[in-house]
Each structure stands twice: as C-alpha cells, then as structure tokens.
Amino acid sequence: MLFSSVNFLYYFLPLLLLVYFSVPSKWKNLVLFLFSLGFYYYGEPIYTLLLLMSSVSGYVHGLLIERCRNTRFATVPLVSSIVVGLGALIFFKYSDFFLENVNRLFDFELGLLGVVLPIGISFYTFQVLSYTIDVYRGKVSVQRNMLDFMTYVALFPQLIAGPIVRYETIENQLKERKHSVEDAYVGVKRFMVGLGKKVLIADTLAEVGMHFDSAHEASVLFYWLAAITFTLQIYYDFSGYSDMAIGLGRIFGFRFLENFNYPYIAKSVSEFWRRWHISLGEWFRRYVYIPMGGNRVNVLRLVRNLLIVWFLTGFWHGAAWNFVVWGLMYGVLLIVEKLVIKDRMESVPVVLRHAYVMFVVVIGFVLFNAGSFQEGFNNILGMFAFREAPLVNTESLYYLRSYAVVIVLGVFGSTPLLKGTLKCLRKHPFARRSLAVLEPAVIVILLLMVTGNLVDGTFNPFIYFRF
C-alpha cells in the first residue's frame, strides 16, 4: 500500500487513527502491529510470513545472546542472527544475480530461480541486525516482550522504504510514549510536506524520464534534462517518503531520526553522504566501518575499509553491476578527498566545490537509474556528445519548456531557503499569527491537490521500493 494512495489516505489511516486513539495505552502496540501487518499484507500477501519470521528470528536471537552472555558461546547466537538475516536477504535479492554471473563467467547454463524481491526486506533486515548486534554489545537491553519487538520491526511508517530505525533510538518509546494534539499536528504537517513532495513534484518530474525513454530521437540536451530531473525526482521521492514516515511516527508518539538534510547544498562528496540517506550511512558506519577500524588505521587499511563499505553500499541498493560501480565511484572519490585533496578543498571557491559535487551526483544517478551498467554508460556518453545525437532538437526543447517551472521549484525546494524564510518570519508576532492561520489552510489545499492528482494520475510507486 502506498502512502500516496486514496486507499491509504481515506480508508486505512483514518480507521487506524480511530482505533489507535480509542484503546488504552497497553493495547496501542497491538493495534499498530496488527495494522502494520495488514498494511504489508495488502502489497505482499505471501511475504508477510517472511516479515514475521524475520521478527521472530530477531526476538529469539536477542534472548539467546543475553542468555549466553559471558560464556564461551557468547558469539554463537550473534553469528547465527547475522547468518539468518543476511542469508534471507542474499537469497531473495541476489540469488539470480550470482547465478547470472556464474553462467557468464564459466559458460554454465544454470537456471535462474526467478525469486520476487520482497518489498522492504533490505530495510527491516538491517533493523533486526542492528538490534541483535547492539544487544550483544550491551548498548540496548534485550526486549522480552515479543509483541513490542515485533511492533518495532513491522512498524508500517518506515517498514518498506526507511528510514532505517535502529532499535536504540526508539527502545524507550516502545514501552512508553506520549501523545498530544501538538505532536499530532506537527506529524500531520510533516506528512503532508512529504506527500506533496512525492505526488506534486517527484511524480511530475518522473514524466520527463518516461518521455525520454519513448523519445524518437535523443539529443544531448535531452540526456542532460533526463539526468537532472531524475536527480531531483529521487530526492523528492525518497526524502518525501522519509518525511511521511517521520510525520506518521510523530502522530503515534515516535521520534524517528532525520534521514535527509539538504544534500544538494553539499560542498564535498563526504558532506553529501552525511546529508543523504543518513540512516543507511549511520548503519554502515556503526556496524561495518568502525568494527573494521574506521579511520584509525594506516592508509592501506583505510582505503580497504572505504572500498568495502562503498561496495556494500552500492550492492545494498541493487543486484546489478551499475549499483556496484556507483558505490565504488563514491568510495574512490571519498578516498581522494580524505587522502589527496583534503587540505586543498577549503581554498577552492564554494561555488566550484558545489558544482563539483552536483556534477558527480548527477553522473552517479545516471548510473543508478539505468537498467544495466551498459545502459548507464551509454547515457553518460550521450550527455557528452559521444553518441550520434544532435545537441538540441524540437522534442527536447518542448519538454524543457513544459517542465521548466517544476524544475525551478524543485531546485529551490532542495535548499533550506524556504525553511530559513519561515523561521525568520516566526520571529515576528504578526507573521507568526498569520502563519498559524495559513498553515492549516495550506495543508487542506495540499491534500485536495494531491487527491486530485491521485484520482487522475497513474500508479507511481516510490523509487526505493525496489531496494
């Protein structure tokens, strides 16, 4: 079920709110768990069992880790939890990828399994692993209430596309959390911002990509237009989902950590990844990078650590070589920034540093969005006029004019200018009172606009559903 759907907005969510706020506190986790299962079952009937098995596995392994603590078998349940979790992820997400490459490498004819990727498996697997690893490290207490733990894993706001919520961040909120009209209002505002990002901006920008794929003749301008609009689309699509997840969590008393912090204003690749998909970067830092020694090692090991982390980051996003190359590209750039040009970066004008980052990001997302590495490489060649294509044609100019307004709005909205302006206005009493009246009106208007788009539009799932 999509957050950006009539069924969710006008049936599922109102019913959940009615039931959730009608029952006593001791039943609220049960309500959330049952509705979350229904939410997942709506899109993945068969794989709901896999979600339940993953939850049970995490719960049981947590108990076993606690029971074996300070014994010679202490690491056994931890290793078992990692093997079970990653084993399921590898089977469902990467089995055909490995078979295809074995066939190609050794000229075999092994049949592909044709396994369908369960929605959200990359996200909830990492959540379960964060719990068992942190229990082993003694950073969190073992959860003995099975319902509370399964609610954590299945919690619908962030279940299928993040952010990756570590157990540590909501451990206390699972046991006791506060609800208020103010929190609910803040949550609704945040949800509506994300919904507007997805439906009004991301889905509109997605049309450019569809026009590009069906174009009679590509041009250099069209290659760049498709690349830039996808770069904006994926930001509004994914950050919009994160906004909706954080907003929904706030309504139900949870405080999820931020997942985006205006990544397109970054002045280095390192800064970009501190601002983009923050929860994934933090997961790899805590559970892969630091255990290997982080940056407190010699140069060769630092290079190794970075390459491993970014290989895994790329591979996490998809079972295809273009994702691997995309991840390693960032690994190499981070190595160069940390070891070669670190001291020289500050002397370069901010405009040039920002231009460098955005150039890298746009090129990277061309690879990311491609169906294969070859397709991505060909599109990059087209952007630099290395393919037989005119610089400009009538079709590309038409779409540039047609989508110019939403592109400009997208660029403006990806900066903190609007947020900063509103913050300044709230310092003045008259503006603050005016905003208090205008904000609810804007929310209602936004809901009506979104609803109109959903009724007349086509099905357009979130990009990160495929991961």
Structure tokens at 61: 């392994």
Separation CA 147–CA 73 (nearest Å): 27
Structure tokens at 449: 């606009």
Catalytic residue set = 317
